[in-house]
Amino acid sequence: MPGKRPKTRGKKKKTTKKKVVLSGMAADFPLTEAEIKNIKVTYDLSSKFDRLEVSKVGTVLRLIGGAPTEDELRGVVSTFGEEGFVNFQEFLDVVEKHRNSHGFMADELREAFEVFDANGDGEIDAGELISILTQVGDPLTEAEAEELVRESDLNGDGKINYVEFVAMTVKP
C-alpha cells in the first residue's frame, strides 16, 4: 500500500550501562546541550584519554556546581571501583542523578557570571573582577582579591572564563 511504511522487526542492541544511585532519585531534569558542553569542558580538563579517575569525581562535581556527600562518593567508588575510571557518559549519569537529588547552583553561578561578563564574551577581565571583589558585598582586600584571581586563572591568560569562575566560587 502506498504511503505506508513497512514495519520492521529488529532487535535493539542491548547495551549494559553501570548505574549509580545517588539518593535513590531518577533523572527528573535531563541536562541541556549547553550544560553538557560546560560539563564536558570541565571533564576534559580533569580526565586523561576520556577517562576520569573515580577519585576525581567529587572534585569535578564540585567544579560544575555540585556538592556531593561522602556517602554519594562512596557509592560511586563501590560502583566503579576505588582505582576505576568513569567515561564521560557515565559521568553525565552521575551528574544527572546528583543534580536531581540536590539541585545544582549552576543556574545561580551562570547568572552571577553573566553579571560580571558585561560584554558577553564568556570571560571576565581579571582586573575588573579584582575591582568588584574589593568593592561589593563583603569586600576583600586588594591582596586577597589578587591572590584569589591569580589562583583561579587556570590558564594564566589574565581572564576568568566560566569554568574558572565556577572553580573559584565553589572551592572547598
User: How far apart are alpha carbons 108 and 154 in whole angstroms?
Assistant: 22
Domain ranges of the chain: 33-102, 106-169
Q: What pLDDT is recorded for position 141?
A: 92
The predicted model scores a pTM of 0.47
What CA–CA distance (Å, rounded) separates 48 from 45? 8
Residue 88 has what pLDDT? 93
Q: Please tell me the predicted confidence (pLDDT) of residue 132.
A: 86
**pLDDT tens digit at each of 172 positions of the chain:** 455 544 444 444 333 333 333 333 333 456 778 778 888 888 988 888 889 998 889 888 888 877 788 888 888 888 888 788 999 999 988 888 777 665 555 566 677 778 888 788 888 888 888 888 888 877 889 999 898 888 888 888 888 887 777 666 655 4
Q: Which three cell numbers stand for residue 162?
A: 566560566
- In this prediction, residue 6 carries a pLDDT of 45
Beta bridge partners of 86: 52
Contact 165, 109 (CB under 8 A): yes
Check residue 169 and give its pLDDT: 66
- Number of other residues whose CB lies within 10 A of the CB of residue 127: 12
The domain made up of 106-169 is a member of CATH 1.10.238.10? yes
Taking the domain 33-102, which CATH number applies? 1.10.238.10
Tell me how far apart the alpha carbons of residues 21 and 37 are, in angstroms, rounded to a whole number.
23
Domains 33-102 and 106-169 alike in fold: yes
Q: In the prediction, which pLDDT does 16 show?
A: 36
